[in-house]
Amino acid sequence: MVQTAQTAGRAGASLDILPALAKTAPLMADPKVNEQMEKIVSLCKRRGFIFQSSEIYGGINGFWDYGPLGAELKRNVKDFWWRTMVHTRDDVAGLEATIIMHPQIWKASGHVDTFVDPMSTCHGCKRLIRTDQAWEMIETSGWGAPLKELYQSHAPADELAKWAETKGKRLVPRLALILNPRAVAANWERRLQESSNAERPTLRQFFVAMGREEYEPGYSIPPCPHCGSELTEPRPFNLMFRTCVGPAADDDNVAFLRPETAQAIFVQFKNVLETSRQKVPFGIAQAGKAFRNEVTPRNFTFRSREFEQMELEYFIRPDEAIEAITGQVTKPAAGHPGEPRPCWGWQTWHQYWVEERIRFYESIGLPRATLEEYWQTPEELAHYARATVDLLFKFPFGTQELEGIAARSDFDLSQHQRFSGKTMGVFDEELKLAWAKLDEAKKAELSKRYFEARLKYLVKMGEAKEKAEKLATEDAAGLAKGNYIPHVIEPSAGVDRLILALICNAYTEDQAPDEKGKLETRVVMKFHPRIAPIKVAVFPLLKNRPELVKKAHEVRDLLRPHMTVFYDDAGAIGRRYRRQDEAGTPFGVTVDFDTLGEKRDLLNTVTLRDRDTMQQTRVKIGDLLSLLLEKIR
Ligand code: ATP
């Protein structure tokens, strides 16, 4: 999604950030968050979910590799998204476009001019910091969290100074409070006394004050979340990675690694429409790599510089066309609006996609209670967006965005029409026929509304008033003939963030008996069977008994064409179970002597172990495949 910031100009080359890579070490966070995340990060490495990219060379900040289990998990999630969004719907077609595209695309989309983050440099430790994220980093840091508590409990200056002289000194050595505790604390107390309760300084002002010997009203730059020194004034930093196409590395050959997958969908809209025999309303889906030169990649894979997105652009009629065709535009009530209907306006479509996406998350094991819906305020919305809902997940390090679902008006296709000179509109036979039957008053009302919306967009995009009026008049005349530029609803999800959410959600510790019956802590990754990397593990009870091994191979080969199977014959059976619990394998099949007919009535049966309950049931080998398929689909 294009940033909302309108303040930006084109910032310096993305390579500026490279010298700082070594300096962007992770921030020491709240100890409890640290502990939970440390366990998760260590399991990811130990079990082969996620590795640091280029690890043997010291790693490269913001880049991550998926190991054997992670690669399967990711593939399952992407496949299920594709199945849900494309294969099981009549109204969505797929696309797979290139990562490097014509640079004009990023001019038209606004990324060249406004895809920027505010960046500051720390005067002390020289780290680069995203200025707007510094507050949150401070409040959840090892030093910010206790200071926040002192602030909230109205601690007196003495207590503040005492903290600075003891714990604070160790945690945040360059904060002005630490360098000069008595003076800063006294200043702070004076400021509190001077202000009435109603105008009590905010938490953020408190942190600014803690970072400076003198508090200047209006000064709002936070101290460095890492060392507490002053940060420079924020400057805009464009997040796109630049490269050159062809042998000459000059400005004429500059191209960008795509910062989102969505733009290719808009650019190929006409081709897909013509070849897929779809008509509005319909969607185009794409999943693939995206690149953003994030100033401060952090929270493990949450904010990476190379990541994957799964995006749908769902094209709908403008409300004026809907009203002309159906005589009304329905607005949504709470909850899922049900099966799509022709009278749905953009608001109902938007609600529909929010609810559909929540259902998707539920169906891969993220219950609604782990998610939050955040409706962006009018001030936060991009100028072209009519509404945006962020679906947030409760990560151990905070409740953060997984996916954004935006109603983006007709902005994107209109921009590509203006920049490419190619028409991006569609002809809608139904609209043409319906329009002819409207009374004159209705025609005038709908034309006026459409004219005004188009005029607003054109003026906002910098067209001169006269030209904008001429173009908007043509657009309104086009509507009467059945032509319009479709509006779009965009559910845009991040694969890597979702994988991290699934891993955090799955991570569980419980108590289970070891080989000798003594209780020990068991780590279980409780993935939904649908997305679990390995669906079933097959174990011969003993590996030195050829008849058991032969049978176990038969079971493995029976299941393997249909699902991921892990064959394990090494070590005690209890330890083999534990290994699969950590890998998140939902089912374990053990071939024992009863399978071979030691007890005649159990011939050709195996035990099927459930990862979460650890319960074992006896199942006929002949029933195994259909039983497992039912559970993993
Ligand atoms: P944020 O505000 O967290 O930077 P955004 O609003 O810029 O995210 P969008 O542009 O809406 O994100 O991108 C859609 C989705 O792509 C996000 O919801 C997220 O899941 C994913 N995404 C965006 N940036 C990153 C990143 N740097 N690393 C991993 N995933 C990302």
**Do 558 and 450 share a domain, yes or no?**
no
**Do 473 and 580 share a domain, yes or no?**
no
Instruction: List the domain range (segments joined by +) for residue 583.
Output: 534-632
pTM above 0.85, yes or no: yes
Q: Is residue 213 part of a domain?
A: yes
Ligand 1 centre and the CA of 309: distance in Å?
Answer: 8
Ligand 1 environment, Cβ below 6 A: 1, 260, 292, 294, 303-304, 307, 309, 401-404, 492-494, 496-497
pLDDT at residue 404, as a whole number: 98
Pocket residue to mutate for ligand 1, from 401, 402, 498, most atoms within 8 A of Cβ: 401
Which one of 456, 484, 512 terminates a domain?
484
- In this structure, the residue with its CA closest to atom 9 of ligand 1 is 1
Distance from CA of residue 610 to its chain's centroid? 31
Which of the residues in the chain have pLDDT under 50? 1-28
- Which DSSP category does 103 fall into? T
Per-residue DSSP letters for 152-197? HTT--HHHHHHHIIIIIHHH-TTSHHHHSHHHHHHHHHHHHHHS-S
Nearest alpha carbon to residue 60 among 305, 307, 289, 308? 305
Within 8 A by CB and 6+ apart from 444, the residues are none
* Residues 347, 331 contacting (CB under 8 angstroms): yes
The beta-strand segments (E) located in 464-604 are 483-484, 487-494, 507-513, 519-525, 536-540, 565-567, 587-591
Ligand 1 centre and the CA of 400: distance in Å?
Answer: 10
- In this structure, the residue with its CA closest to atom 7 of ligand 1 is 1
Ligand 1 atom nearest to CA at 292: 27
Which H or E element spans position 463? none
Which one of 191, 212, 238 terminates a domain?
238
pLDDT at residue 217, as a whole number: 74
Can you tell me the distance from the alpha carbon of 503 to that of 490, in angstroms, rounded to the nearest whole number? 26
Q: Is residue 181 part of a domain?
A: yes
- In this structure, the residue with its CA closest to atom 20 of ligand 1 is 494
**Do 470 and 607 share a domain, yes or no?**
no
Q: What is the pLDDT of residues 356-398, one digit of tens each?
A: 999 999 999 999 999 999 999 999 998 899 999 999 999 999 9
Q: Is residue 376 part of a domain?
A: no
pLDDT at residue 21, as a whole number: 32
Residue found under tokens 């609803």: 489
Domain count for the chain, please give it: 3
Ligand 1 atom nearest to CA at 304: 28
Q: What is the pLDDT of residues 190-215, one digit of tens each?
A: 888 887 766 778 888 888 888 887 77
- In this structure, the residue with its CA closest to atom 24 of ligand 1 is 303
Which structure tokens are listed for 534?
């390995």
**Do 145 and 225 share a domain, yes or no?**
yes
Q: Is residue 468 part of a domain?
A: yes
Which one of 484, 516, 543 terminates a domain?
484
CATH code, 618: 3.40.50.800
Which structure tokens are listed for 256?
């960008």
pLDDT at residue 12, as a whole number: 25
Ligand 1 centre and the CA of 494: distance in Å?
Answer: 6
Q: Is residue 354 part of a domain?
A: no
pLDDT at residue 29, as a whole number: 54
End-to-end CA, the chain: 32
**Strand 282-291 with 92-94, pairing:** parallel
Ligand 1 atom nearest to CA at 492: 14
pLDDT at residue 206, as a whole number: 87
Ligand 1 centre and the CA of 272: distance in Å?
Answer: 26
The CA–CA distances, whole Å, from 200 to 149, 160, 185, 206, 582 equal 16, 17, 16, 10, 50
pLDDT at residue 156, as a whole number: 86
Q: Is residue 604 part of a domain?
A: yes
**Do 470 and 546 share a domain, yes or no?**
no
Ligand 1 centre and the CA of 332: distance in Å?
Answer: 27
Can you tell me the distance from the alpha carbon of 296 to that of 302, in angstroms, rounded to the nearest whole number? 11
pLDDT at residue 230, as a whole number: 92
Q: Coil, strand, or helix at residue 507?
A: strand
